[in-house]
Amino acid sequence: MPRYELSLILKAMQRPETAAALRRTMETLLQRGAVVRDLENLGERRLPYKMSKHNLRHSRGGYFLVDFYSSPSMVTDLLDHLGRDVDIVRTTVLKKEEQPQSVSYCCSPPSPNSDSISPSQS
């Protein structure tokens, strides 16, 4: 099963309400046969730009990251379901790569000429 990463932005709420919203999200995931691996809290911070969702303008939000394994067919359904939840501001599901990126040596970079006017290199 491919590994996905769900980046969740919840409305800025009190602790019990955030917990309830997270619980709901987890239950939807588990209902659809996903195997949740990790749930990270990236903290509550100010959003980079104001987001409108469900007739509300949000300027602060709680960032959460859910690591899970699931079948690909379940993902669109999940996003549809989460879109209807009032407490959730933004959701994005990304596929996570299993293999670490191979670090290959890059070619030498263009020489930085801060003083002379160098032609822009493509």
Partner 1 sequence: MLAFRNCRTVLQTLSQGIRRQVTEQASRSLSVVPDEAHKDMPIKMENPYKQPQKGCILCSNNIEVDYKNIQLLSQFISPHTGRIYGRHITGLCGRRQKEISKAIKKAHSMGFMSVTLKDPQFMKDPNICDIKHLE
Binding site for partner 1 (CB under 8 A): 7, 9, 42, 47-49, 51, 61, 63, 65, 89-90, 92, 94, 101, 103-110, 112, 114, 118, 120-122
Amino acid at 36: V
Give the separation between CA 60 and CA 35, rounded to whole angstroms: 29
Smallest gap from Cβ 87 to partner 1, in A, equals 15
Question: Who's near 107: CB < 8 A, 6+ residues apart?
Answer: none
Question: Who's near 72: CB < 8 A, 6+ residues apart?
Answer: 2
Residue with smaller CB distance to partner 1, 32 or 90: 90
Smallest gap from Cβ 46 to partner 1, in A, equals 9
Residue with smaller CB distance to partner 1, 30 or 65: 65
Residue with smaller CB distance to partner 1, 16 or 48: 48
Residue with smaller CB distance to partner 1, 26 or 47: 47
Q: What is the DSSP string of 75-100?
A: HHHHHHHHHT-TTEEEEEEEEEPSSP
